[in-house]
């Protein structure tokens, strides 16, 4: 198992109280697995990903442990965690378009970053050039400033930089949402290519756009209001989802390629609860057509069949038939 | 989020913000003093009422000037012209800045080009030197004339800031919607754009208010202030002119300076507090 | 890039033209004719008045058509002729002002440069510690709210009168004659120090809070988060943030120039320091309008030159502007 998360709970501390952004997450990702992570905005996707690499105030770890490659990951220890960042866990952030220092030549910035991590730039230089060519970027861009690159070029540059030290786990947060359709396709194909070439072992692809996951993800995890709802192989999630939320989510997708989160889920009445004072128990229960008494307790995220996890009190089989 | 809820939230943060409380407290203190002071002050500010150059005492709280005038009376009367300059000068500067900023930002194109060049030109001219020259030729000056001069020379800074804000707001959906529904540009600016940057406009006004006070103080200090009446700047001017320094009459020049510094500093700190309230990113956790 | 400079030059040129025009207009369209003033001061009576009047009108060229006067004004400026000082008659205004300029430069250049660098560094340093930040911030805002001349008065009173450490009037000791000797230079320094210090202190506060706010903004910028996520040490993140925050501070310097110069003028008045500010006061008191006009013109030219220098510096310091230049060429 590449990544093992146990009972991870992370809150945001605000003046008005704790925002319960991630509750009791239990999750494993295998070596070489590309896992898609989907859900409406504010459901805790980015919180989950950030707590694996940069857990800092106002984020606060309430409970839980994370293991990477069999060793505990010191996610709350900013200093010790530095050793793991970039080398073991890396990220392609949501804001990849602005991720590079605007006043440094890209090559110079990479050199200074690597130097600060005590990695020799000169020995990596050939590999860097090779990878740039792989993503169809000319090595000349190392002599340019970020402002001289197009959005797609910056995205690919950040992909190459983030994976340069062959991390075990790559967190790719909304890598395609700022791009046009053709760049979206090529960027997501590059992610698969990177895994094939073992630049990265496992990848978590966070996205609004489920259609991207159809093409590249081995498995998909659905989150709702800070809780894990369901995880299974891509095939299963799309064709045989068990959680009522997943079911509604998938069936309310009019067509492949439509970004559902930008439209309200019209098939599901109501809004996600505010996470400042979320309801106890299953947080989806107020919108759930199948909710019953038991739902005031928090359902466990249980393995129903091999590789298929669901957090729902409803008898899975009876639901699947309904 | 509904409007009422948002307002509640702002108030909630406003009451918790120390900077706003301190800044506003200081400014309010001086505003109250402006109104109450003349009632407490026992003397006419320009009458010779006591011994020359007496240090602070129970009778003359801030001492007296070389001419035996009561410094405290001068101080509280001077405060009113300070606030007047701030409100009128700062207000006029803000209104001109808004007009030009909105026009340039909303219209864009050639009008923007012209106004932008104009703004930059006036921004580059050393305003105080210009004011000195103008004031030197006007023989009878009142606080209003001074405020007017300050207002018409200090708008460019506000215009620049407001133009940039307008630029980013005018591409938003609700502005498009208003435009499509055929509303006039003036109406769109006042019903759609201005309300959405109200907090920003208010903060601009506070900054203009503070800088107008400082500018007026400098002019007054150079002897180009109001020819009648008294202001904190003219107090400093007279103190220096009549060698209060050499004579060690600190009570003559310290209070007006503290007054100006406290009011302007209070305004600036208040603005930082407001900034934190309106921009959630800056709120302290 | 070339467009950027063309634009700037256009603005500077326009500013200059407008400043000169204002300078020319004011004595002509303001109530009170300068010639009347000179004559009333001379206390003449009867026919002598009209003779004097014609003489001065001709001498100042006020009898010519307006457009000609305006043209003459420009021609005179390009010859460096700003008229004759009334107060220091018959010294030419240009000569009087050129005598004062070195004092202004000696005051302004060190005050601006040292306060800018020191304020920025201190602001960046203060942004690191909560405690320093909590004391610096209010102090900084109080300093920016302080009128320059008042701080000058307080310093003069404390160090000049109460403790008698520094002299508080003049550019050098009245007992000395200008010479390149050590005692004279020492005297210059002593007289320079307090005006310099009051300019330094007020500006220092402004730059320090400016930098503190910018650094915090830059540390919240996406590139800072990305570096942190890749495990870059704080040192590198802060270095980038500081360097990037310096750029808006440079623009800020250009915007502040007018205010700083005004502050210097007022400070010179406090210390009777023989720069342009002091001349302006003399000109006002003696109603020497030619001198006043000349001073204004010199201040404008000085501010324009300084602006231009800052523009060039900006292009050198911000690589993006140069990158844009390459992009334009290719």
Three-state secondary-structure class, residue A288: coil
Residue A322: predicted pLDDT? 43
Task: Give me the residue from B233, B245, B257 closest to C161, CB to CB.
Answer: B245
The answer on pLDDT for C257 being more than 60 is yes
Share of chain C above pLDDT 70, in %: 91
Whether B283 and A58 lie within 8 Å, measured CB to CB: no
Across B70-75, average pLDDT: 92
CA distance B273 to chain A (A): 16
Across A4-15, average pLDDT: 88
Name the residue range of residue C159's domain. Answer: 93-329
Whether B16 and A13 lie within 8 Å, measured CB to CB: no
Nearest CA in chain A to B16: A15
Three-state secondary-structure class, residue A23: strand
Three-state secondary-structure class, residue B199: helix
How far is residue B175 from each of residues B166, B188, B197, C158, measured CA to CA in Å? Answer: 11, 7, 13, 58
Higher pLDDT pick, A2 / C305: C305
CA distance A204 to chain B (A): 28
For chain A, list the contacting chains (3+ Cβ pairs, <8 Å).
B, C
The answer on pLDDT for C2 being more than 90 is no
Nearest CA in chain B to C253: B124
Interface test with B, best of A11, A12, A15, A16 (most B CBs within 10 A): A15
Buried b (16+ CB within 10 A) or exposed e, A130-156: ebbeebebeeebbebbbebbeebbbbb
CA distance C241 to chain A (A): 9
Domain with residues A3-253+267-313, CATH architecture: 3-Layer(aba) Sandwich (3.40)
Residue A52: predicted pLDDT? 93
Residue C327: predicted pLDDT? 40
Residue A253: predicted pLDDT? 65
- The pTM for the full model equals 0.83
Whether C262 and B126 lie within 8 Å, measured CB to CB: yes
Chain A hits for B13, CB-CB cut-off 8 Å, are: 15
Here the tokens at position A227 are 């809780």
Residue C33: predicted pLDDT? 63
The answer on pLDDT for C105 being more than 50 is yes
Residue A119: DSSP 8-state: -
Whether C229 and A53 lie within 8 Å, measured CB to CB: yes
Residue A88: predicted pLDDT? 92
CATH number of the domain residue C162 falls in? 1.10.3720
Q: How far apart are CA B231 and CA B45, in angstroms?
A: 11
The answer on pLDDT for A77 being more than 50 is yes
Residue B5: predicted pLDDT? 59
Buried b (16+ CB within 10 A) or exposed e, B41-67: bebebbeebbeebbeeeeebbbbbbbe
Interface test with B, best of C150, C168, C301 (most B CBs within 10 A): C150
Here the tokens at position B22 are 């301190």
* pLDDT tens for each residue of A265-300: 555 666 777 788 888 888 888 888 888 888 888 888
Residue B83: predicted pLDDT? 95
What is the 3 state secondary structure string of chain C?
CHHHHHHHHHHHHHHHHHHHHHHHHHHHHCCCCHHHHHHHHHCCCCHHHHHHHHHHHHHCCCCCCHHHHHHHHHHHHHCCCCCECCCCCCCEHHHHHHHHHHHHHHHHHHHHHHHHHHHHHHHHHHCCCHHHHHHHHHHHHHHHCCCHHHHHHHHHHHHHHHCCCCCCCCCCCCCCCCCCCHHHHHHHHHHHHHHHHHHHHHHHHHHHHHHHHHHHHHHCCHHHHHHHHCCCCHHHHHHHHHHHHHHHHHHHHHHHHHHHHHHHHHHHHHCCCCCHHHHHHHHHHCCCHHHHHHHHHHHHHHHHHHHHHHHHHHHHHCHHHHHHHHHHHC
- Mean pLDDT highest for which of A137-146, B271-280, C77-86? A137-146
Number of domains in chain C: 1
The answer on pLDDT for A202 being more than 90 is yes
The answer on pLDDT for A120 being more than 70 is yes
> How many contacts (CB atoms, under 8 Å) link B and C?
169
Q: How far apart are CA A212 and CA A234, in angstroms?
A: 11
CA-CA-CA-CA torsion sign (B226, B227, B233, B235): negative
Residue C283: predicted pLDDT? 87
Residue B285: predicted pLDDT? 36
* pLDDT tens for each residue of C223-247: 999 999 999 999 999 999 999 999 9
- Work out the number of other CB atoms within 10 angstroms of the CB of residue B29: 13
* pLDDT tens for each residue of A217-248: 999 999 988 889 899 999 888 888 888 888 88
Domain contains C131: yes
A39: left (phi over 0), alpha (psi -120 to 50) or beta: left
Q: Could you report the predicted ipTM of this complex, rounded to two decimals?
A: 0.88
* pLDDT tens for each residue of B168-223: 888 888 888 888 888 888 888 888 888 888 888 999 999 999 999 999 999 999 88
Whether B128 and C303 lie within 8 Å, measured CB to CB: no
Residue B26: predicted pLDDT? 95
The pLDDT-based confidence of C268 (bands split at 50, 70, 90) is very high
Chain B hits for A13, CB-CB cut-off 8 Å, are: 285
Residue B85: DSSP 8-state: I
Nearest CA in chain A to C318: A103
Residue C227: predicted pLDDT? 94
* pLDDT tens for each residue of B6-41: 667 777 777 778 889 999 999 999 999 999 988 888
Whether A101 and C229 lie within 8 Å, measured CB to CB: no
CA-CA-CA-CA torsion sign (C117, C119, C122, C128): negative
The answer on pLDDT for C40 being more than 80 is no
Chain C hits for B240, CB-CB cut-off 8 Å, are: 153, 269-270
Higher pLDDT pick, B270 / C173: B270
Chain B hits for A58, CB-CB cut-off 8 Å, are: 285
Domains of chain B in start order, with CATH, are 18-35+61-282 (1.10.3720.10)
Domain contains C119: yes
* pLDDT tens for each residue of C273-301: 999 999 998 888 887 878 888 999 999 99
Nearest CA in chain C to A102: C320
Find where tokens 């804001």 sit: A95
Domain contains C72: no
The answer on pLDDT for C258 being more than 60 is yes
> Within 13 Å and on the Cβ side, how many CA atoms surround B195?
8
Residue C177: predicted pLDDT? 80
Domain contains C45: no
CA distance B218 to chain C (A): 7
The answer on pLDDT for A263 being more than 50 is no
């Amino acid at each position: 198992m590449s990544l093992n998360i146990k009972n991870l709970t992370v809150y945001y501390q605000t003046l008005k109280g704790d925002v319960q952004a991630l509750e009791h997450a239990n999750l494993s990702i295998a070596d070489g697995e590309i896992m898609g992570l989907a859900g409406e905005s504010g459901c805790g996707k980015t919180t989950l990903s950030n707590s694996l690499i940069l857990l800092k105030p106002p984020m606060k770890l309430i409970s839980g442990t994370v293991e990477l490659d069999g060793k505990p990951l010191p996610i709350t220890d900013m200093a010790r965690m530095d050793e793991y960042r970039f080398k073991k866990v890396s990220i392609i952030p949501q804001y990849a378009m602005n991720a590079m220092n605007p006043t440094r030549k890209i090559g110079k910035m990479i050199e200074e970053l690597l130097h600060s991590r005590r990695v020799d730039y000169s020995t990596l230089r050939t590999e860097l050039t090779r990878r740039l060519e792989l993503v169809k970027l000319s090595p000349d861009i190392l002599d340019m400033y970020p402002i001289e690159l197009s959005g797609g070029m910056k995205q690919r540059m950040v992909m190459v930089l983030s994976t340069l030290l062959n991390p075990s786990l790559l967190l790719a947060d909304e890598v395609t949402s700022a791009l046009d359709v053709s760049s979206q396709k090529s960027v997501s194909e590059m992610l698969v290519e990177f895994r094939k070439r073992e630049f990265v072992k496992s990848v978590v692809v966070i996205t609004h756009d489920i259609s991207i996951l159809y093409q590249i993800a081995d498995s998909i995890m659905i989150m709702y209001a800070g809780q894990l709802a369901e995880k299974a192989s891509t095939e299963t999630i799309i064709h045989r989802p068990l959680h009522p939320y997943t079911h509604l989510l998938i069936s309310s997708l009019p067509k492949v390629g439509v970004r559902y989160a930008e439209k309200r889920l019209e098939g599901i009445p109501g809004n996600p609860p505010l996470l400042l004072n979320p309801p106890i128990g299953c947080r989806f229960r107020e919108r759930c057509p199948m909710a019953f008494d038991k739902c005031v307790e928090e359902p466990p995220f249980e393995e129903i069949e091999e590789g298929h996890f669901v957090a729902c009190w409803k008898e899975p089989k009876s639901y699947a038939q309904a | 989020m509904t409007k009422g809820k948002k307002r509640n939230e702002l108030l909630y943060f406003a009451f918790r913000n120390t900077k706003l409380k301190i800044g506003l407290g200081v400014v309010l203190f001086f505003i109250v003093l402006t109104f109450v002071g003349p009632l407490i002050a026992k003397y006419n500010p320009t009458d010779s009422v006591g011994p020359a150059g007496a240090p602070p005492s129970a009778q003359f709280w801030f001492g007296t000037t070389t001419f035996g005038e009561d410094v405290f009376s001068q101080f509280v009367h001077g405060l009113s012209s300070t606030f007047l300059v701030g409100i009128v000068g700062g207000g006029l500067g803000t209104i001109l800045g808004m007009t030009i900023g909105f026009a340039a930002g909303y219209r864009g194109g050639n009008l923007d080009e012209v106004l932008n060049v104009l703004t930059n030109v006036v921004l580059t001219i050393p305003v105080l030197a210009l004011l000195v020259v103008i004031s030197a030729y006007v023989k009878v000056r009142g606080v209003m004339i001074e405020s007017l001069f300050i207002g018409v020379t200090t708008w460019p800074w506000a215009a620049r800031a407001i133009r940039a804000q307008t630029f980013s707001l005018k591409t938003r959906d609700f502005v498009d919607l208003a435009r499509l529904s055929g509303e006039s540009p003036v109406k769109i600016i006042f019903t759609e754009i201005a309300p959405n940057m109200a907090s920003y406009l208010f903060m601009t006004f506070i900054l203009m208010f503070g800088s107008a006070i400082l500018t007026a103080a400098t002019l007054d200090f150079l002897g180009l202030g109001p020819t009648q009446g008294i202001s904190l700047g003219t107090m400093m001017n007279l103190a220096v002119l009549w060698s209060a320094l050499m004579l060690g009459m600190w009570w003559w020049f310290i209070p007006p300076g503290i007054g100006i510094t406290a009011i302007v500093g209070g305004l600036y700190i208040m603005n930082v507090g407001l900034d934190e309230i309106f921009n959630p990113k800056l709120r302290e956790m | 890039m070339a467009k950027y400079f063309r634009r700037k030059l256009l603005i500077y040129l326009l500013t200059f033209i407008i400043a000169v025009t204002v300078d020319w207009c004011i004595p002509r369209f303001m109530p009170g004719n300068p010639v009347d003033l000179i004559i009333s001061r001379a206390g003449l009576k009867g026919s002598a008045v009209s003779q004097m009047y014609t003489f001065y009108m001709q001498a100042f060229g006020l009898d010519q058509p307006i457009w000609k006067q305006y043209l003459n004004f420009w021609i005179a400026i390009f010859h460096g002729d700003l008229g004759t000082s009334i107060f220091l008659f018959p010294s030419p205004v240009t000569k009087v002002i050129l005598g004062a300029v070195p004092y202004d430069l000696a005051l302004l250049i060190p005050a601006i440069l040292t306060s800018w660098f020191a304020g920025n560094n201190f602001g960046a340093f203060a942004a690191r510690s909560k405690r320093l930040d909590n004391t610096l911030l209010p102090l900084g805002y109080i300093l920016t709210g302080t009128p320059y001349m008042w701080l000058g008065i307080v310093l003069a009173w404390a160090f000049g009168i109460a403790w008698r450490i520094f002299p508080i009037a003049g550019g050098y000791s009245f007992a000395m004659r200008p010479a390149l000797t050590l005692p004279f230079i020492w005297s210059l320094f002593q007289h320079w120090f307090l005006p310099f210090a009051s300019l330094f202190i007020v500006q220092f506060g402004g730059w320090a809070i400016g930098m503190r706010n910018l650094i915090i903004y830059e540390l919240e910028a996406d590139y800072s988060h990305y570096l942190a996520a890749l495990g870059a040490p704080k040192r590198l993140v802060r270095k980038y943030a500081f360097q990037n925050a310096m750029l808006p501070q440079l623009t800020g310097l250009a915007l502040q120039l007018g205010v700083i110069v005004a502050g210097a003028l007022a400070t010179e008045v406090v210390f009777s320091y023989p720069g342009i500010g002091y001349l302006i006061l003399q000109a006002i008191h003696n109603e020497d309008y030619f001198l006043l006009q000349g001073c204004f013109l010199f201040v404008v030219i000085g501010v324009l030159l300084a602006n231009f220098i800052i523009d060039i510096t900006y292009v050198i310091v911000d690589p993006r502007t140069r990158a844009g230049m390459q992009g334009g060429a290719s």
